[in-house]
Each structure stands twice: as structure tokens, then as C-alpha cells.
């Protein structure tokens, strides 16, 4: 192969040179091995410039000396010497030439085969280089894909970390919500139990209030009937007193007439008559006083009747206000529950204390007496006195 055909950038040549540099660190030995590589493997006649351009070690005289030694060794190897004592010198030279010719022919045949093998090796090297380039391209694409995948993986990791943080926050919020829900459910159950107790107490108080309203209505009706009976009796007594007063006035008029008739004739009769007149006058005054007392008693009975009517109306109004009282009681229960939550732990009285203190009656409504009768207003006593 001509020297011009040698490609210094050939990958196979560079690989062989790298292997020789690793095996022969000594400069002369490295030049000698490179000479054999170029001549025997690549079929290139080595020169000092070529050797220096490939090895680039030592001075320019080193590859020239190594190259001269290489040619001397090569000539010594190609010289054939037949040392046989019985052969003449001319036959020895003929035999040596023949062997030399055979060796040269074998060398040429080997060179031809070596050239074919080199061509095949170059084709394989080209194919390998093409495969290497394709592999490099694939590797580059794979690297780009790996970088993209790494970026995506980083983003996914960041998103996963963010999701983990959000999930932790959601778990904490869920735990707090669940705790609040448990506390709310406990409070709701306690409030339900309290509401049930309060409903029971309220039902009892409502029944008691209804019974009291019924009793008050019955007593008011009885008081009204009794007042009506007493009013009728007072009317009858007043009529009787009116008739008695009329009779007494008639008797007084008759006595006065008799006294006027008898005053002229008899002083004693006059005195007696005057005494009778005084007595009649006293009786008339007593009758008028009795009539006044009857009028006062009638007025007192009217006052009591009006009071009984007011009590009956108030009882009806209280019976009508029962739904409103129920609504107010529910509001009071709700406020009591709220105040109990606010005052929890400060030693407030339990909610059941309200049941121990029933609602105070209206001061405007008089309480019924122990014997079932109504109390008499103080105004009647004032009138009576």
C-alpha cells in the first residue's frame, strides 16, 4: 500500500497506536513496534517523518535510527543461509536464491491476502463506525430523553412533595375537623339529654300550670256565682230597706201631723210626740245609715264582681299566653344553654335549678285562698270603714 493511502486519523490505526503506547512506554521500543505495525499490518513503508508524526516522542534522530535498525533486522531475516558441508558454494547460492524467491512469492501472496483482509476489516470498521455513529446518535437521543425524563421526574417529585404537603395539611385539617365534630357531637348529645330533661320538666310544669289555670277558672266562676248571689241578696235587702224607709217617712209625716194637731192642745202630748219624733228620727237615721251601708256593701260586691271578672279574664289571657310562654321558655332554655357553655367551669348552678323555683305568679292576679274562696280587696274594707 502506498504511503499516501495511509489515513493518520484511522480509528483502527489510532487504537493500535494507543495499545502500543500502553505496552511499550520506552521511546525506541515504541518506534520499533510502530515500524513493524506499519510495514507488516498496514503494508506501509515507514519513514522517519511518518513515525514521528504518529509517535511524537523524542527527537527527529530517534525515529531515523530506529528505522535503520528495523531495515537491517528485516534484511537479516530475509537472507537465507544454507550451511551444509557437502554442498558446493554455487549450489548453496542457487538454493538460497530459490528459497528467497519462494519466500518472496509467499510474502506477496500473504500481502494480497492481507490486503483483502484489510479491505474487509476497513468495511467492517466503516460499518462499525456507522453503527458507532448511530449508537452515538441513539445515545444522544437517549440522553436527551433521559434529561427530559429527569426534568419531568423532578417536576413530578416537586408536585409529589407539594401533594404530600397538601395531604399532610388536609390530614391535619381533617383531624382537627374530626375533633371538632366529636366535640360538637358530645355537646349535641349533652344538649339533647338536657333538652329531654327540660322537656320533661317543662311538661310537668305545663301540666301543673294547666291545672292551676283550671282551678283558677273554677274559683273565678264560683266567685262570680257567689258575688251574683250576694248582689241579689243586697238588692233584696235594699228594696226592703227602701220600703221600711218609706213606711218610716209615712209614720214620721203622720206623727208630725199629729204633733202639729196636738201641739196646740197639750204640751205633754207634744213632748211625748217630740220624743216619738226624735225616736222616729233616730230610727230614720239608722235606716238611712243602714241604707248607706247597704249601698256601700252593694258597691263592694260590685267591686268584687268586677275583680272576679278581671281575674277570669286574666286567667283566660294566661291560658291564651301559654303558647307564647312555651316559645319564651324555649328561648330561655337556649339562652341558658349558651350561658352554661360560656360559664362552664365557673361553678354555675345546674340547669335543673329552674325546675326547683316555679314561675312567680303575676302580682296583678290574686292567689286563691286555702278554703277555695277569693280574697277580698282592701278597697272594700276602706269603703266599709
pLDDT by residue, tens only, the chain of 385 residues: 334 456 666 788 888 888 998 999 999 999 999 998 888 888 888 898 988 888 888 888 899 999 999 888 887 776 655 555 555 667 656 666 666 676 666 566 656 665 676 677 677 767 877 887 888 888 888 888 888 888 888 888 898 899 899 888 988 988 988 898 889 888 888 888 888 888 898 888 888 888 888 898 888 888 888 888 888 888 898 888 788 888 888 888 887 887 677 667 777 767 877 888 788 888 888 888 888 888 888 888 888 888 888 888 887 787 777 777 788 888 888 888 887 777 766 655 444 444 444 444 444 444 444 344 444 344 444 444 4
Calculate helix-pair angle for 48-55, 27-36, nearest 10 degrees: 120
Q: Cell numbers 547460492 label which residue?
A: 93
Residue 98, CA atoms < 13 Å, CB-side half-sphere: 7
List phi, psi (to 5°) of 220: -65, -40
C-alpha of 36 from chain center: 86
pLDDT at 33: 92
> What cell was used for 20?
502500543
Q: pLDDT at position 81, please?
A: 56
237: helix, strand or coil: helix
Expressed in angstroms, the distance from the first to the final Cα of the chain is 165
pLDDT of residue 32: 92
The per-residue pLDDT for 78 is: 66
Contact 374, 366 (CB under 8 A): yes
| Total length of the chain | 385
Element counts in the chain: helices (H) and strands (E) = 9, 0
pLDDT score recorded for residue 207: 87
Question: How far is residue 50's CA from residue 13's CA, in Å, rounded to a whole number?
Answer: 13
Look at residue 370 in the predicted model and tell me its pLDDT: 38
Whole-model pTM: value is 0.26
Q: Which residues contact 125 (CB under 8 A, 6 or more apart)?
A: 10, 11, 12
Task: Report the C-alpha gap between 107 and 124 in whole angstroms.
Answer: 25
- CA 6 to CA 16: how far, in whole Å? 14
Amino acid at each position: 500500500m502506498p504511503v499516501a493511502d495511509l489515513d493518520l486519523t484511522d480509528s483502527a490505526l489510532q487504537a493500535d497506536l494507543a495499545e502500543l503506547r500502553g505496552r511499550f512506554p520506552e521511546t525506541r521500543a515504541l518506534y520499533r513496534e510502530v515500524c513493524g505495525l506499519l510495514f507488516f499490518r498496514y503494508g506501509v513503508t515507514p519513514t522517519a517523518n511518518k513515525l514521528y508524526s504518529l509517535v511524537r516522542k523524542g527527537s527527529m534522530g530517534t525515529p531515523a535510527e530506529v528505522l535503520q535498525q528495523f531495515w537491517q533486522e528485516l534484511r537479516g531475516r530475509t537472507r537465507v543461509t544454507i550451511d551444509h558441508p557437502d554442498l558446493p558454494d554455487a549450489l548453496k547460492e542457487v538454493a538460497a536464491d530459490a528459497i528467497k524467491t519462494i519466500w518472496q512469492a509467499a510474502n506477496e501472496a500473504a500481502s494480497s491476502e492481507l490486503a483483502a483482509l484489510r479491505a474487509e476489516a476497513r468495511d467492517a470498521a466503516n460499518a462499525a463506525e456507522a453503527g458507532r455513529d448511530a449508537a452515538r446518535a441513539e445515545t444522544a437521543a437517549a440522553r436527551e430523553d433521559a434529561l427530559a425524563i429527569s426534568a419531568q421526574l423532578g417536576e413530578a417529585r416537586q408536585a409529589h412533595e407539594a401533594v404530600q404537603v397538601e395531604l399532610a395539611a388536609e390530614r391535619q385539617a381533617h383531624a382537627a375537623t374530626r375533633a371538632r365534630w366529636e366535640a360538637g357531637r358530645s355537646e349535641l348529645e349533652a344538649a339533647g339529654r338536657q333538652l329531654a330533661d327540660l322537656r320533661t320538666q317543662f311538661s310537668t310544669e305545663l301540666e301543673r300550670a294547666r291545672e292551676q289555670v283550671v282551678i283558677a277558672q273554677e274559683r273565678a266562676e264560683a266567685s262570680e256565682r257567689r258575688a251574683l248571689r250576694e248582689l241579689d241578696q243586697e238588692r233584696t235587702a235594699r228594696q226592703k230597706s227602701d220600703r221600711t224607709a218609706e213606711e218610716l217617712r209615712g209614720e214620721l209625716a203622720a206623727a208630725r201631723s199629729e204633733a202639729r194637731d196636738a201641739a196646740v192642745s197639750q204640751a205633754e202630748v207634744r213632748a211625748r210626740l217630740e220624743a216619738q219624733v226624735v225616736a222616729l228620727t233616730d230610727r230614720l237615721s239608722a235606716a238611712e245609715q243602714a241604707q248607706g251601708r247597704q249601698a256601700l256593701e252593694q258597691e263592694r260586691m260590685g267591686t268584687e264582681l268586677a275583680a272576679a271578672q278581671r281575674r277570669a279574664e286574666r286567667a283566660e289571657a294566661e291560658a291564651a299566653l301559654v303558647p307564647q310562654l312555651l316559645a319564651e321558655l324555649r328561648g330561655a332554655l337556649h339562652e341558658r344553654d349558651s350561658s352554661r357553655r360560656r360559664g362552664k367551669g365557673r361553678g354555675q348552678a345546674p340547669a335543673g335549678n329552674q325546675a326547683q323555683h316555679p314561675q312567680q305568679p303575676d302580682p296583678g292576679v290574686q292567689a286563691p285562698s286555702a278554703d277555695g274562696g277569693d280574697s277580698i280587696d282592701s278597697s272594700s274594707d276602706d269603703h266599709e270603714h
